[in-house]
């Protein structure tokens, strides 16, 4: 066997194949939401300009940085897993969860401040889509955090010593949640 | 992926996030701005795919699917804004 064949055989998909199909399904649903939002904006330009002006861009920036940082810690925890450094895995996951909590806190504060202004899901088409898309993403963050907590509890027991697949699957799901926000943030807050 | 690569990617992602908001304040052409923003989205998506998800070292079809997503979806949105 030559070197090229060895390199090809070394290429391995991180995590379970089933998780990747789940990730693709999730990405497809969000793609429809994003494109639907853009088309509706095209048809209601003035309404969307006014709606976006009422959003708190700084909280969007804080949330983007919180999710990116959380993703960094998850990536570092995967590296620690490959080196079998249990203590580091646990600490990195705790930091990842802390930054995820910052996202939940800021997003909840943002919803609360909109509600206090009398804005809700029925206010107009812009806010219907805003609440639907961001709340759907919020639920994915919550699910991702449940997965991270599960990974943390198993890591504490050193249960990933032999098989890394479950840990890598959870990590990739979390990166997907981050990637979705990377598209969502400019679409809703910036442009 | 090494820890250094992950940290550099994180710094670039944070920089690009701040840059996209800054560009929104200085560029007044929606057309030009949309192109810039979605180019940034693609670059950020590529970093997450290759470095954080480690698909750079995975079978190429999965990398192509993920990179295709962060290229095609923002491109469709950008095309709608440019109409």
Select from A74, A186, A189 the residue whose CB has the most chain B CBs within 10 Å, as the one to mutate to test that interface. A186
Q: Which residue has the tokens 């209601």?
A: A44
**Residues in B touching A13 (Cβ below 8 Å):** 58-59, 62
Comparing B25 with B13, the larger pLDDT belongs to B13
Cα distance between residue A102 and residue B63, in whole Å: 30
What is the average pLDDT score of chain A? 92
Q: Select from A141, A176, A133 the least CA-distant residue to B70.
A: A176
Tell me what ipTM this predicted complex has.
0.93
Model confidence at A77: pLDDT above 90: yes
Select from B77, B78, B79, B81 the residue whose CB has the most chain A CBs within 10 Å, as the one to mutate to test that interface. B77
Specify the CATH superfamily of domain A17-190.
Cytochrome c oxidase, subunit III, four-helix bundle (1.20.120.80)
Cα distance between residue A139 and residue A170, in whole Å: 16
| Whole-number pLDDT of residue A9 | 52
Model confidence at A1: pLDDT above 70: no
| Whole-number pLDDT of residue A6 | 45
Handedness of CA B60, A23, A166, B11 (dihedral sign): positive
Handedness of CA A43, A46, A50, A55 (dihedral sign): positive
Model confidence at A65: pLDDT above 90: yes
Domain ranges of chain A: 17-190
Structural domain boundaries enclosing B10: 3-82
Q: Does residue B3 sit at the A interface (CB-CB below 8 Å)?
A: yes
Q: State both tokens at A155.
A: 């890591």
Q: What band does A93 get if pLDDT is binned at 50, 70 and 90?
A: very high
| Whole-number pLDDT of residue A4 | 46
* Region A107-133 average pLDDT: 96
Number of domains, chain B: 1
Cα distance between residue A118 and residue A112, in whole Å: 10
- Cβ-based neighbours of A106, under 8 Å, separated by 6 or more: A59, A62, A63, A66
* Region A118-125 average pLDDT: 94
A 152-191: CB under 8 A from B: 172, 175, 178-179, 182-183, 185-187, 190-191
């Amino acid at each position: 066997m030559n070197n090229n064949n060895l390199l090809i055989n070394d290429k391995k998909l991180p995590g379970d194949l089933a998780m990747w199909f789940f990730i693709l399904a999730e990405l497809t649903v969000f793609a429809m939401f994003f494109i639907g939002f853009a088309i509706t904006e095209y048809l209601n330009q003035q309404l969307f300009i006014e709606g976006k002006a009422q959003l708190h861009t700084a909280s969007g920036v804080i949330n983007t940085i919180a999710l990116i940082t959380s993703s960094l810690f998850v990536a570092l925890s995967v590296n620690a897993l490959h080196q079998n450094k249990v203590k580091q895995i646990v600490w990195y996951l705790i930091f990842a969860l802390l930054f995820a909590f910052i996202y939940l806190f800021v997003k909840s504060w943002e919803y609360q401040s909109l509600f206090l202004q009398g804005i809700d899901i029925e206010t107009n088409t812009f806010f219907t889509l805003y609440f639907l898309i961001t709340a759907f993403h919020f639920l994915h963050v919550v699910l991702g955090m449940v997965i991270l907590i599960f990974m943390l509890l198993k890591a504490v027991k050193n249960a990933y010593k032999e098989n890394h697949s479950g840990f890598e699957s959870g990590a990739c799901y979390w990166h997907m949640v981050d990637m979705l926000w990377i598209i969502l943030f400019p679409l809703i807050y910036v442009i | 992926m090494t820890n250094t690569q992950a940290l550099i990617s994180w710094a670039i992602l944070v920089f690009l996030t701040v840059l996209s908001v800054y560009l929104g304040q200085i560029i007044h052409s929606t057309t030009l701005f949309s192109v810039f923003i979605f180019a940034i989205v693609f670059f950020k998506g590529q970093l997450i795919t290759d470095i954080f998800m480690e698909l750079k070292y995975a079978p190429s079809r999965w990398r192509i699917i993920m990179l295709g997503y962060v290229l095609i979806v923002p491109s469709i949105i950008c095309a709608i804004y440019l109409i």
